């Protein structure tokens, strides 16, 4: 049998293929809409090639880290293709971090180039002396009144580049395409390495699970810095959909764009969904097109799922972590569930489900890594591996070894496995409440609380108790104009939960959150336990 060279029957799996194909096939189609401006796919492709060649001309070499501190505007989207096309590794930085946190990421990644929005440049200016590896700073002037750092302006930088085709600079699809830094709520953030292959496959997974086509219009409500926007910068480009960029999340603007531009898809954490469904414009007019909303981060309650779908949208519930490219599992919908009552459908959809089509199955295991019984009751840790698992933590082999012990990625999330093979989260290992020897899922208690019509959102943590060791305390934000007492809420919970699971204390007010919409339970927990330490001493 003749032996042919591998390139005859095999090519690298890389997202660089996506823009090339869309520009070749859809030569007049809008690729990006931002404000009153529109770029076609060939125009986007030209800008990306100019960016890549300008980066090379600036001295960026293969494997160099190129950091971006830019909101959800076209330059951030262009960076997802332009940086890897130049041979670089994209480091998209959380736009809501402090100067010291940004300095750490620039230092740890060894970024050689920084592209920064002028409105955010004030965060970089005081730390420039702390990042000696940084050689080039490019400032994006998208809004007036920002800070201009030393170095070229973005549009001038692109103008100096060439639109001519560039050979893909990868030698192996397992090369790193991006480093995403975790939120760092329990210590220094870790740099999660994504590969070309993993990003390619996760992008296809997003398209399959959310039913995207070339007619799809995707609204950027999810930060692109977060897990590279769950790989949607590459996914939407792959299917030749239209990106609608949104510099700042504003519920009124979201609903306007949904109706005026014909948005078909967006992603949002449950806290964002709460803000959207409670905005007056949510019910101002019927949705003009089928709207699919992917949600993840903190587990959504059946209540918020039902509220969104009552507007005529379809919720796709996914689950994952930064270490698995964002979503890894999806609550795959079963046709026989369509005949169930709406509240039962919402309860089923609140489960985290099964592995993506392009991913391996997630397991729920005990301390010895044996699968727990699929009884919907036995707690275990969610572990994953395969196509959509990170390459490792950048420059942190010890943390990588801990995360990959036993040959699987350990999520730190506690879940049960149902008899139908769908997993359902119960808590983070650090969040589970052990009260008098009984495990209490904070998620279960939170879902009972938000079922109350006066409640906007809630967070539950363990607080110290002299008799039980720990008991649940609820922190609750009420809907505007609503009134509710702690006693009334506790009584309501006891109609839905065993008495020992109901909160023993309730505090009303706003909830502290991360930049991606997750409630910062550690802030609440540290405050409560610090107060306890003061009392006993």
pLDDT digits (tens, 9 = 90+) for 445-457: 999 999 999 999 9
Over range 50-76, report the average pLDDT. 98
pLDDT surpasses 70 at 535: no
For 288-332, the pLDDT digits (tens) are 999 999 998 777 889 999 999 999 999 999 999 999 999 999 999
The helix (H) or strand (E) run that includes residue 204 is helix 196-210
Query: Which residue has 């006891």 as its token pair?
Result: 494
pLDDT value, residue 367: 94
**What does the DSSP 8-state code read for residue 288?**
S
pLDDT surpasses 90 at 468: no
pLDDT value, residue 266: 98
Distance CA 339, CA 159 (A): 57
Helix (H, G, I), strand (E, B) or coil at 222: coil
pLDDT surpasses 50 at 185: no
Tokens representing 171 are 């030698």
pLDDT value, residue 534: 57
pLDDT surpasses 50 at 357: yes
Domains of the chain: 37-208 (3.40.50.12780), 249-428 (3.40.50.12780), 433-536 (3.30.300.30)
Distance CA 158, CA 56 (A): 12
pLDDT value, residue 186: 47
pLDDT surpasses 90 at 444: no
Quick check: 293 and 314 in contact, CB under 8 A? yes
42 contact partners, CB below 8 Å, separation of at least 6: 23, 27
Distance CA 369, CA 440 (A): 22
The helix (H) or strand (E) run that includes residue 400 is helix 397-403
pLDDT classification of 526: cutoffs 50, 70, 90: confident
Q: How many residues in the chain?
A: 537
pLDDT value, residue 7: 83
pLDDT surpasses 70 at 410: yes
Quick check: 237 and 19 in contact, CB under 8 A? yes
pLDDT value, residue 465: 86
Tell me which of 15-29, 87-101, 121-135, 433-447 is least confident. Answer: 433-447
For 132-183, the pLDDT digits (tens) are 999 999 999 999 999 999 999 999 999 999 999 999 999 999 999 999 998 7
Q: Compute how many other C-beta atoms are within 10 angstroms of the C-beta atom of residue 188.
A: 13
Query: If we measure between CA atoms, which residue out of 220, 379, 353, 245 comes closest to residue 296?
Result: 353
**What does the DSSP 8-state code read for residue 39?**
E
pLDDT value, residue 429: 80
What angle do helix axes 74-85 and 41-57 make, rounded to 10 degrees? 60
Distance CA 370, CA 364 (A): 8
pLDDT surpasses 60 at 263: yes
pLDDT surpasses 60 at 537: no
pLDDT classification of 214: cutoffs 50, 70, 90: very high
């Amino acid at each position: 049998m003749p032996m042919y060279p591998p390139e005859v029957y095999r090519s690298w799996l890389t997202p660089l293929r996506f823009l090339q194909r869309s520009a070749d096939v859809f030569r007049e189609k809008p690729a990006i809409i931002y404000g009153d401006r529109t770029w076609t796919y060939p125009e986007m492709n030209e800008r990306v090639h100019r960016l890549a060649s300008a980066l090379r001309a600036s001295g960026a070499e293969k494997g160099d880290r190129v950091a971006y501190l830019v909101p959800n505007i076209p330059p951030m989207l262009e960076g997802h293709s332009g940086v890897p096309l130049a041979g670089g590794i994209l480091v998209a930085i959380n736009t809501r971090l402090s100067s010291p946190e940004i300095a750490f990421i620039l230092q740890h990644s060894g970024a050689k180039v920084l592209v920064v929005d002028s409105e955010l440049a004030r965060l970089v200016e005081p730390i420039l002396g702390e990042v000696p590896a940084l050689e080039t700073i490019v400032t994006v002037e998208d809004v007036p009144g920002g800070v201009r750092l030393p170095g070229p302006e973005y549009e001038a930088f692109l103008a100096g580049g060439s639109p001519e085709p560039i050979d893909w600079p990868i030698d192996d699809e397992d090369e790193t395409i991006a480093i995403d830094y975790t939120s760092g709520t329990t210590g220094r953030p870790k740099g999660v390495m994504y590969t070309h292959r993993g990003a390619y496959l996760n992008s296809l997974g997003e398209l399959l699970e959310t039913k995207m086509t070339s007619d799809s219009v995707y609204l950027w409500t999810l930060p692109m810095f977060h897990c590279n926007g769950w790989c949607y910068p590459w996914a939407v480009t792959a299917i030749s959909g239209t990106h609608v960029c949104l510099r700042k999340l504003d519920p009124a603007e979201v609903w306007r764009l949904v109706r005026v531009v014909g948005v078909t898809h967006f992603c949002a954490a449950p806290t964002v969904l709460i803000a959207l469904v409670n905005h007056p414009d949510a019910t101002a007019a019927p949705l003009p097109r089928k709207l699919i909303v992917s949600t993840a981060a903190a587990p959504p309650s059946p209540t918020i799922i039902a509220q969104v779908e009552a507007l005529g949208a379809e919720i796709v519930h996914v689950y994952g972590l930064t270490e698995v490219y964002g979503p890894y599992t999806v609550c795959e919908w079963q046709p026989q569930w369509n005949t169930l009552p709406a509240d039962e459908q919402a309860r089923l959809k609140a489960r985290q489900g099964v592995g993506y089509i392009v991913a391996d199955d997630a397991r729920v295991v005990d301390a010895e890594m044996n699968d727990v019984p699929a009884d919907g009751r036995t707690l275990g840790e969610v572990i994953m591996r395969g196509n959509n698992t990170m390459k490792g933590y950048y420059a942190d082999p010890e943390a990588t070894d801990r995360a990959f012990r036993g040959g699987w990625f350990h999520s730190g999330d506690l879940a049960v496995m149902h008899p139908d093979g769908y997993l359902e989260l119960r808590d983070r290992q650090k969040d589970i409440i052990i009260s008098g020897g009984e495990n209490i899922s904070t998620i279960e208690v939170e879902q009972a609380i938000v079922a109350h019509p006066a409640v906007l959102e809630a967070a539950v943590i363990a607080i110290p108790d002299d008799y039980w060791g720990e008991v649940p305390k609820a922190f609750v934000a009420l809907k505007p104009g609503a009134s509710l007492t702690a006693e009334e809420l506790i009584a309501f919970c006891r109609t839905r939960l065993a008495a020992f699971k109901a909160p023993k204390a309730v505090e009303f007010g706003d909830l502290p959150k991360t930049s991606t919409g997750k409630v910062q339970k550690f802030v609440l927990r540290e405050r409560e336990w610090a107060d306890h330490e003061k009392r006993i001493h």
